[in-house]
Amino acid sequence: MKTSNWLTGLLFTCVVGGLMAFVNADEYLNGIDWKEPPVIAPGEHGGPPSDAVVLFDGQDLSAWQGADNWKIENGAMICGKGDVHTKAAFGDCQLHIEWSAPTPIKGSGQGRGNSGIFFMDNYEIQVLDSYGNKTYFDGQAGGIYKQTPPQVNATVAPGKWNVYDIIWTAPRFNEEGSLKSPAYITALHNGILILNHFELKGDTPYSRPPHYEKHADRLPIRLQDHGNPTRFRNIWIRETKPAEGEPVRKPFIRDDKGNERPID
């Protein structure tokens, strides 16, 4: 076949194929009556979106309990004596939190800029000055304590601000107390993926293996006092849930004339 004939053939095939695709305008419909997703206004520059609960905006510690010995300086809350808990309880959520390791640098390993964010009071994602500071890897910043290191170390120098954006899926428990489904965590550190749908093996203590023990569907977020004046700012949280919809019929195909047929 000459090149020109071959090209003509190819062109013909494309045109006919395109026309057939146009004529054959079948549409797949999944049979689910979706609710319209809520419309929200995104926050600007890491600020809270319109549906977020603000946990700290630089002004006061009213969203926290146990914070009598923590103080506010230049719009940041500074770790003082004792852990603090949110007054509100949360299950599945998206948390935005910014933290800055103390300057001047003091201590090393786990003793340098140590704090932590505990989801549901039990499950710690580590906050630590991991900028040029070696420690055990599943205890460095962004790790799930004693369970996994972060995929990469994206920590910035002490005094600069680190940003965690974390998606938390709460564990579920059966009536009699056994685990129905584990907790999962996905986290970005300064915009970089460090934990991708990591499945937690349980809680995160120092001195024993992790395990799950049945607890409420919602529990407070806890920030750890580990004896270092770590600073936090711009903390907001969104409760998350899947899109809502009811299956109202089996999936089907609708053609361009409006005729409907089941999927074989």
Q: What residues make contact with Mg ion under the rule CB under 5 A?
A: 114, 116, 224
β 84-86/231-239 pair status: unpaired
Structure tokens that stand for 130 in this block: 């991991």
Residue closer to Mg ion, measured from CB, 116 or 171:
116
Rounded CA separation 183/132 (Å): 30
Structure tokens at 44: 């600007």
Instruction: Work out whether the CA dihedral 189, 96, 169, 226 comes out positive or negative.
Output: positive
In whole angstroms, how close is the CB of 126 to Mg ion at the nearest point?
5
For residues 114 and 153, which CB has a smaller minimum distance to Mg ion in the complex?
A: 114
**Which residue's structure tokens are 């510690």?**
61
- Report, in Å, the least distance between residue 86 CB and Mg ion: 17
Reduce the secondary structure of 42-92 to three states and give it as a string. CCCCCCCCCCCEEEECCCCCCCEECCCCCEEECCEEECCCCCEEECCCECC
Shortest separation between residue 114's beta carbon and Mg ion, angstroms: 5
- Cβ closest to Mg ion, residue 114 vs residue 234: 114
Q: Rounded to an integer, what distance in angstroms lies between the CA atom of residue 214 and that of residue 236?
A: 26
Q: Report the residue number whose CB is nearest to Mg ion.
A: 116
Least Å distance, CB 262 to Mg ion, is 56
- HSE-CB of 4 using CA atoms within 13 angstroms: 0
Q: Which is nearer to Mg ion, 129 or 233 (CB)?
A: 129
Distance between CA atoms of 141 and 98, rounded to whole angstroms?
13
CB of 74 to Mg ion, least distance (A): 23
Shortest Cβ 90–Mg ion spacing (Å): 19
Q: Closer to Mg ion by CB, 12 or 137: give it.
A: 137
Closer to Mg ion at the Cβ: 52 or 86?
Answer: 86
